[in-house]
Amino acid sequence: MLSGDLVAVWEVALSDGVHRIEFAHGTTTGKRVVYVNGQELIRRDWMFKLVGRETFAVGSANTRATIIIEAVGGFAYEYTLQVGGTSLQKFSANRAQTTKTWLLKVDGQDRRIVLEKDTMDVWCNGQKMESTGEFVDDGTETRFVVGEHECCIKAVSSSSGGKKTKKSGIVHWLLLDGEKVASSTQ
């Protein structure tokens, strides 16, 4: 890639991993190139219209993403990324509400475990995991295996235990071989 034409880089966290989107824009040639995780997805050479949109799919769920190119005066341009039809910022805020992510080391390897709260699907390093869910006295438990390790995601009401909290809802914990793992923001 010609780093001189690289004008924007974004990272998009999806259930199957964090995807790096790079956009190269040749403002003299009109060239547009979109890379996702280092792979070229779109290349347009010699475009006479320097503003516009490039739409493409990201991740295993083919999430729709659009780069918007706008002129902001003279030969200056602004580049924004929309994911799933909304701004990256709103998309990320929504994902923070609908997923829970843990980053941990298991047997010396980095693991990124994601729970999709609406479907209770569990992903580990981009692979959808085989899991079983069951109701228990204080909530639910979703069990799966990573390597040789037993994992369990517990979902309990934040108001269980008699304490009133400002924000009630469901709290999710990841247990690896019975030990609680701290959650992450990605």
Q: Collect all residues with Cβ–Cβ distance below 8 Å to 81 and sequence separation of at least 6.
A: 8, 10, 12, 21, 65, 66, 67, 68, 87, 88
Residue 157 is which amino acid?
S
Domains and their CATH numbers in the chain: 3-84 (2.40.128.180), 98-181 (2.40.128.180)
Max intra-chain CA distance, the chain: 66
What's the chain's average pLDDT? Answer: 90
Q: Are 81 and 21 in contact (CB under 8 A)?
A: yes
pTM of the model: 0.83
Tell me how far apart the alpha carbons of residues 24 and 48 are, in angstroms, rounded to a whole number.
16
* Secondary structure class of 91 (helix, strand, coil): helix
What 3-state class would DSSP assign to 178?
A: coil
Per residue in 29-54, pLDDT (tens digit) is: 889 999 999 999 999 988 778 899 99
- Per-residue pLDDT tens over the stretch 93-120: 999 999 999 999 999 999 999 999 999 9
Specify the pLDDT at position 59: 95
